[in-house]
Amino acid sequence: MERSSALIGSIFLLISISCLINPISAAASGSGEGYSIAGRVKLDNFVTKGFGLGHSPKLSETKVILNGGQRTTFVRPDGYFSFHDVPAGTHLIEVSSIGYLFSPVRVDISARNPGKIQAALTENRRALNELVLEPMKDEQYYEIREPFSMLSLVKSPMGLMIGFMVLVMFVFPKMMDGVDPEEMRQAQEQMREHGIPSISNLVAGRS
Amino acid sequence: MEARFLLGFLLLLSLSSFAFAIYEDQVGLADWHKRYIGKVKHAVFHTQKTGRRRVVVSTEENAIASLDLRTGDILWRHVLGKNDAVDQIGLSLGKYVLTLSSQGSVLRAWNLPDGQMVWETDLQISNPSNSFLHVLGNVKSGRDSLSLVCNGGSIRAVSSIDGLVVWKKDLSVDGLKLKHVFQPPESDTIYAIGFIDSSLIALYHINAKTGELLKHATQASSVDLSSEISAISSDSLVALDTSRSNLLLIKFMAGTITNHKLPLSDIVQDFSGLAELIPTKSNDIFVVKTPSNVAFIKVKGDNEIELIGKADEAGIVSDSLILSEEEQAFAVVHHSNNAISFQVRINGREALTEGIKIEDHRGHVKRVFLNNYVRTDKSHGFRALIVMEDESLLLMQQGEVVWSREDGLASISDAVVAELPVEKEGGVSVVEVEHTLLEWLKGHMLKLKGTLMLSTPDDMAAIQAMHLKSTERNKMTRDHNGFRKLIIVLTQSGKVYALHTGDGRIVWAHLLTPLLQSESCPSPSVLTLRNWRVPHRKALQENPSILLVGRCGAGPESHGFLFIVDSYSGKVLETQILDHSIAEVVPLPLADSSEQKLHLVIDDKLNAHLYPRGSDALEVFVREMANMYYYKVENAKEVIKGYAFKKGCSTGSSAYCFGTRELWSVVFPSDSERIVATARRKINEVVHTQAKIMTNQDVMYKYISKNILFVATVSPKAAGGIGSAAPDEAWLVAYLIDTVTGRILHRVTHQGAQGPVHAVVSENWVVYHYFNLRAHRYEMTVIEIYDQSRADNKDVMKLVLGKHNLTAPITSYSRPEIATKSQSYFFTHSVKAIAVTTTARGITSKQILIGTIGDQVLALDKWYLDPRQTANPSQEEKEEGIIPLTDTLPIIPQSYVTHTRQVGDLRGIMSFPANLESTTHVFSYGIDLFYTRIAPSRTYDSLTDEFSYVLLLITVVVLIVAILVTWAMSQKKDLQEKWR
């Protein structure tokens, strides 16, 4: 009860001064010095694909990390998370969720103006009006297998070999047809004179 | 020119396709992932009448997990932050797990079936101290139930449904420590009992719905109270005094407190030493554990107590388990050589005794958690979770170990790699060959079907299964490619495990410290392990072995010990308690005649002791002593000192003991710099080429020295975490220091930067990761070091005439002329660990392995971090594969070597070479273990598993057929020609 009333109180206070600042979510906590940072992780807009069998990204596996590991919290089923008793200063919030890439968020808690919190994504320097963290993109950890196509088979070394052979089989005779029979005979005779370098000759010559 | 063009083309080709990426069906081919939880400290059984049986545990590694009681599998697990240790766990409403952590300041509720966090409440406790959680059974405000968190003198009641603090009560009494809270059935009043400064007993009546203080009373105690209590009934509790030899029976009837002192020696005849109270729940029974036995004591009427049972021989006693109104059970576990006796006592009477054989590498029993189940004949059966000295977890039921978990592997502190035995020569029968050939063909047919996308789901499953059970990769022998190795790891509990790289199974495991436990070595703990003997040339018939070094006590001056362990079998070959302390173990690049590696053990008085002890080892060392140096980083004093060795040491006259002589020291100004990170090259790293050819045909020589030490310092104000310093008062200075001469080779200051710094040194470059406060992003900087003194060796004429100095030895004595190039990039994530890939010959390009905050391992190609990059690379540079300069390093999801897996609480990454030059092993550890093999420039030196032999065969057949057909056709044509 007490907590909720305090929350309502602080919200009221914030609304009253909201014409000056962009309140994200700040509440001076009981111990005096610290502030609370509250926000929300949103995964709904992202349809996941390419996940392994039996794997699906879960909100329950999503962690929110303050200042590179000083504190770690988890998100609630509705995506909300909060850090309490954070001193004034500039902080860094990171979200770790397998399957998504989140930009770290820079959070400034002003010391002079208690409760004033500003947030911005560090990757693209976009300021956030409310601390709603959405993934920049989903991450595909596996290569996608190209669906089978004739083209890929033809492009493979074996395919190229077969293709070349087919070419030799069907196109070269056609080319031969175009050659004048007289010239052809001449060439054959010439070849006979020089002797066709047969494989057996070659091997014999080598050894 | 053409060749270069081709090279550039190849580079571009490999750039466009990621160097490391796997298909989804390749998961588990080369990699394995093991999940652990760590040493269990709390366990709550959840045995609903229907549904799955499970147990919720919390561990020393700050993990909470739900385990399946039948198999021990992890149903879900969460790892809390580093300083968020779990104080207590409980169940609420039958569907939530409550965890109290961070010294009682954070209360979280987790959904029992799937582990989703339901709510989290910061209790805003001003002075966190020992606190406890009490889940109220029957306060129904609406349909809610309350959980009370007591911390010192304050109570907070938290709603179990949404985690809101319903009421809080600060009793505001100095020195008050609440000890126990309870609520009689069908009552709205909560009784809270506490001690004020160990001399007063205080009782508070509080309204359960509003938190209003109804009544309170205090009473002076007749003894000094310790903090141990045991609640025995709804109106009484037992406390132990500070001397741990007297009991105090406290009754609080109707708002008044009476206390009665009972010396323990009156109850337990042969009592001596210090007693311990085991927490109980009710039934007027409490348990006192003394050094020699366990006593079960019942309270009868007014201040009378009776010993109702005694277990001789002190064992480990579980918390109480309530069976019914009258009965509560305890488990008492004794441990004797490789067997434990498990005894269940109901109300002090012995109900069940079972002896269970247990592997002797598990050590003693540390904790036991008892649970019961109802048999078909309505009698009680018992099962117990047992935590052993090696941090493993066993479930015992009906005199058998049902399952065991090696959770010691969650706390790996060090790891080395060892070879497997060579395959013995032996005949392989023809049948076997035929069988394997058939299998092989069948397998490849299946694969072909897979690649042609013709396979049915059944076939897919068969392919997967075939990959996984492939016997080839799990053999206990060395393979040609060097894929099968042993990873030998040391855990926090001092246990050594050998893991097979094929599937991560444990080949052998040994808990070594109990072997040493003696008068002269009271509390042995293992510090580190090293390769002791890696036979390759001379001593091939000898087994490889590893060296374990530890110390006998807690302090740095306590005596050390060493073990030499056979790495094939885990057998201890040699044990030695040393007569000196151990500060550091320095492996030397030398070996004696039997291939034992020389190690120097530096003690706390800076003497160096040489091991192994042998005349040839001594001879080898003395010959090389003049070239041996040692440096020491004194973090507290901000000093780095370099030493040389000299004969004769300060503490004895042993020939193996050497003194040290200070050569140099680098003193950092302590008012402006703090050492936060140091890094150096791996001693066994191989560098393939010394020269680097630049785009303009220039040659740059890498400055490759094993003595480069990278040191990072930050300003004292920035030594804290992120968020504690402003950009103006933070700076980071990176140094490259030669550890032989102490010369600072390079120094660079990053204004507005702070730690944590993670650095890796390899070949002639350093890559380090730090936080840039001005941009508020992480940054990575690369520094490459080139040797200028050899830069004029480009002239071919000089090379021909022999006027070059390439053959001149590189020495740290001469003043090196070096040139550095550096470049900085933004990097998105926080980093937990950083490493670099190592290959057998150092030809393959390097990848930097980065353990990110999301507990994944990212393989980042080194060429993304290239100081030669410019915003607009010229045509030549493009040909060479230099990519345009960008401000941020790209994170390509396919280059996560851990793919969809996470290595919980990642702490270390290790890379070690395979025999195949293209391939390297990557082993990362935290609470989980993950191993895989990667090829940073793809497998260019062998055919991958992907290669389709069947397709090749078909092609060959088709070609032969085609040749025959064309031959026949040409014959026919010839004949026709002749007939014409």
Measured in angstroms, the CA of A66 and the nearest CA of chain B are apart by 9
If one counts every other C-beta atom within 10 angstroms of the C-beta of residue A46, the result is 14
Residue of B122, B938, B944 to mutate, interface with A, max A Cβ within 10 Å: B122
**Residue in chain B nearest A140 by alpha carbon:** B893
Average confidence (pLDDT) over B586-615: 88
Please tell me which residue, B618 or B123, carries the higher pLDDT value.
B618
Q: Nearest-CA neighbor of B868 among B751, B698, B684? A: B698
pLDDT confidence of residue B259: 78
Confidence of residue A30 (pLDDT cuts 50, 70, 90): very low
Residues with Cβ within 8 Å of B341's Cβ and at least 6 positions away in sequence, in order, are B315, B333, B334, B353, B354, B355, B356
Contact call for A67 and B721, based on CB within 8 A: yes
Q: CA B23 to CA B10: how far, in whole Å?
A: 22
Residue of B449, B826, B853, B958 to mutate, interface with A, max A Cβ within 10 Å: B853
Q: Is the pLDDT of residue B285 over 70?
A: yes
A94 contacts in chain B (CB < 8 Å):
829-830, 853
pLDDT confidence of residue B642: 92
Average confidence (pLDDT) over B876-897: 85
Cβ atoms of B550 and B564 within 8 Å: the answer is no
Contact call for A143 and B21, based on CB within 8 A: yes
Q: What's the N-to-C CA distance of chain A in angstroms?
A: 100
pLDDT confidence of residue A135: 85
Q: Which residues pair with B78 in a beta bridge?
A: B64
Q: Is the pLDDT of residue B687 over 60?
A: yes
Q: Is the pLDDT of residue B895 over 60?
A: yes
Q: Is the pLDDT of residue B355 over 60?
A: yes
Contact call for B724 and A104, based on CB within 8 A: no
pLDDT confidence of residue A21: 36
Write the residue in B452, B855, B955 that is nearest to A162 by C-beta. Answer: B955
Least confident of B128-132, B218-222, B593-597, B725-729: B128-132
CA dihedral B6, B11, B15, B18 (to 10 degrees): 100
Q: CA B749 to CA B668: how far, in whole Å?
A: 14
Residue B719's alpha-carbon distances to B533, B680, B844, in angstroms, are: 41, 22, 37
Q: Nearest-CA neighbor of B741 among B639, B811, B638? A: B811
B451 contacts in chain A (CB < 8 Å):
148
Please tell me which residue, A121 or B444, carries the higher pLDDT value.
A121
Please tell me which residue, B698 or B728, carries the higher pLDDT value.
B728
pLDDT confidence of residue A197: 53
Q: B317-330, pLDDT tens digit by residue?
A: 888 787 777 788 88
Measured in angstroms, the CA of B77 and the nearest CA of chain A are apart by 9
Angle at A28 between CA A24 and CA A34, to 5 degrees: 100
Measured in angstroms, the CA of B918 and the nearest CA of chain A are apart by 20
Measured in angstroms, the CA of A105 and the nearest CA of chain B are apart by 9
Measured in angstroms, the CA of A103 and the nearest CA of chain B are apart by 7
pLDDT confidence of residue B87: 87
The encoded tokens of residue B2 equal 């053409």
The encoded tokens of residue B793 equal 């060796």
Question: What rounded mean pLDDT belongs to chain B?
Answer: 82
pLDDT confidence of residue B499: 93
Measured in angstroms, the CA of B110 and the nearest CA of chain A are apart by 9
Contact call for A69 and B81, based on CB within 8 A: yes
Q: Which residues pair with B691 in a beta bridge?
A: B701
Contact call for B122 and A92, based on CB within 8 A: no
Contact call for A98 and B893, based on CB within 8 A: no
Q: Nearest-CA neighbor of A12 among A127, A86, A115, A111? A: A115
pLDDT confidence of residue A19: 34
Label the pairing between strands B321-322 and B22-23. unpaired
Confidence of residue B370 (pLDDT cuts 50, 70, 90): confident
What is this structure's pTM? 0.85
Cβ atoms of B544 and B531 within 8 Å: the answer is yes
pLDDT confidence of residue B795: 60
Label the pairing between strands A35-41 and A132-133. parallel
pLDDT confidence of residue B4: 44
CA dihedral B302, B304, B308, B314 (to 10 degrees): 120
A123 contacts in chain B (CB < 8 Å):
777, 828, 888
Q: Is the pLDDT of residue A155 over 80?
A: no
pLDDT confidence of residue B37: 92
pLDDT confidence of residue B813: 67
Q: Where are the beta strands (DSSP E) in B290-408?
A: 293-300, 304-312, 316-317, 321-322, 328-336, 339-346, 349-357, 365-374, 380-388, 393-397, 400-405
pLDDT confidence of residue B851: 93
Q: Is the pLDDT of residue B909 over 90?
A: yes
Confidence of residue B859 (pLDDT cuts 50, 70, 90): very high
Please tell me which residue, A50 or B846, carries the higher pLDDT value.
B846
Confidence of residue B796 (pLDDT cuts 50, 70, 90): low
Residue of B96, B828, B901, B956 to mutate, interface with A, max A Cβ within 10 Å: B828
Measured in angstroms, the CA of A176 and the nearest CA of chain B are apart by 13
pLDDT confidence of residue A50: 42
Residues with Cβ within 8 Å of A139's Cβ and at least 6 positions away in sequence, in order, are A99, A100, A101, B893, B896
pLDDT confidence of residue A4: 41
Q: Is the pLDDT of residue B79 over 60?
A: yes
> Angle between the B457-469 and B430-451 helix axes, to the nearest 10 degrees?
130
Confidence of residue B17 (pLDDT cuts 50, 70, 90): very low
If one counts every other C-beta atom within 10 angstroms of the C-beta of residue B113, the result is 13
If one counts every other C-beta atom within 10 angstroms of the C-beta of residue A168, the result is 12
Measured in angstroms, the CA of A138 and the nearest CA of chain B are apart by 9
Task: Kindly tell me the sign of the dihedral angle through the C-alpha atoms of B566, B569, B572, B573.
Answer: negative
Residue of B776, B927, B934, B948 to mutate, interface with A, max A Cβ within 10 Å: B776
| B4-13, B222-231, B242-251: range with highest mean pLDDT | B242-251
What is the interface size between A and B, counted as CB pairs within 8 Å? Answer: 177
Q: Is the pLDDT of residue B105 over 60?
A: yes
Residue of A63, A93, A97 to mutate, interface with B, max B Cβ within 10 Å: A63
Average confidence (pLDDT) over B321-350: 81
Q: B514-525, pLDDT tens digit by residue?
A: 777 777 788 888
Confidence of residue B811 (pLDDT cuts 50, 70, 90): low
Least confident of A146-150, B906-910, B912-916: A146-150
Q: Nearest-CA neighbor of B752 among B770, B735, B768? A: B770
Please tell me which residue, A69 or A27, carries the higher pLDDT value.
A69
Contact call for B723 and A51, based on CB within 8 A: no
Average confidence (pLDDT) over B469-478: 72
**Residue in chain A nearest B724 by alpha carbon:** A89
Residue of B16, B20, B22, B24 to mutate, interface with A, max A Cβ within 10 Å: B24
Task: Kindly tell me the sign of the dihedral angle through the C-alpha atoms of A125, A130, A132, A137.
Answer: negative
pLDDT confidence of residue B649: 80
Question: What rounded mean pLDDT belongs to chain A?
Answer: 71
The encoded tokens of residue B166 equal 């319903």
Contact call for B81 and A106, based on CB within 8 A: no
Cβ atoms of B880 and B692 within 8 Å: the answer is no
A2 contacts in chain B (CB < 8 Å):
165, 167-168
Measured in angstroms, the CA of B615 and the nearest CA of chain A are apart by 51
Contact call for B723 and A92, based on CB within 8 A: yes
A144 contacts in chain B (CB < 8 Å):
23
Confidence of residue B373 (pLDDT cuts 50, 70, 90): confident
Please tell me which residue, B615 or B535, carries the higher pLDDT value.
B615
A37 contacts in chain B (CB < 8 Å):
none
Q: CA B405 to CA B43: how far, in whole Å?
A: 15
Q: Is the pLDDT of residue B736 over 90?
A: yes
A161 contacts in chain B (CB < 8 Å):
955, 959
Tokens 């090389």 found at: B624
For chain B, the 3-state helix, strand and coil shares in percent, each to the nearest 5, are 15, 45, 40
> Angle between the B430-451 and B949-979 helix axes, to the nearest 10 degrees?
80
Residues with Cβ within 8 Å of B619's Cβ and at least 6 positions away in sequence, in order, are none
Q: Is the pLDDT of residue B169 over 70?
A: yes
Write the residue in A99, A141, A147 that is nearest to B894 by C-beta. Answer: A141
Q: B180-211, pLDDT tens digit by residue?
A: 887 777 777 888 888 888 788 888 888 888 88
Q: CA B810 to CA B787: how far, in whole Å?
A: 10
Measured in angstroms, the CA of A15 and the nearest CA of chain B are apart by 23
Write the residue in A90, A156, A161 that is nearest to B723 by C-beta. Answer: A90
pLDDT confidence of residue A1: 38
How does DSSP assign chain A, residue by residue?
A: -HHHHHHHHHHHHHHHTTTTS---S--B-TTSS-EEEEEEE--TT----SPPTT----GGG-EEEETTTTEEEE--TTSEEEEEEEPSEEEEEEEE-TTEE---EEEEE-SSSTT-EEEEETTT--EESS-EE--SEE---EEPPPPP-HHHHHHSHHHHHHHHHHHHHHHHHHHHHHS-HHHHHHHHHHHHHH----HHHHHHHH-
A51 contacts in chain B (CB < 8 Å):
900
Measured in angstroms, the CA of A31 and the nearest CA of chain B are apart by 6
Q: B930-963, pLDDT tens digit by residue?
A: 999 998 888 788 777 667 777 788 888 888 998 8
Least confident of A189-198, B105-114, B374-383, B435-444: A189-198
Q: CA B534 to CA B597: how far, in whole Å?
A: 8
A108 contacts in chain B (CB < 8 Å):
none
Contact call for B117 and A60, based on CB within 8 A: yes
Q: B235-274, pLDDT tens digit by residue?
A: 778 888 887 778 888 887 766 777 777 777 777 777 777 7
CA dihedral B741, B746, B749, B753 (to 10 degrees): -80
Q: CA B99 to CA B144: how far, in whole Å?
A: 18
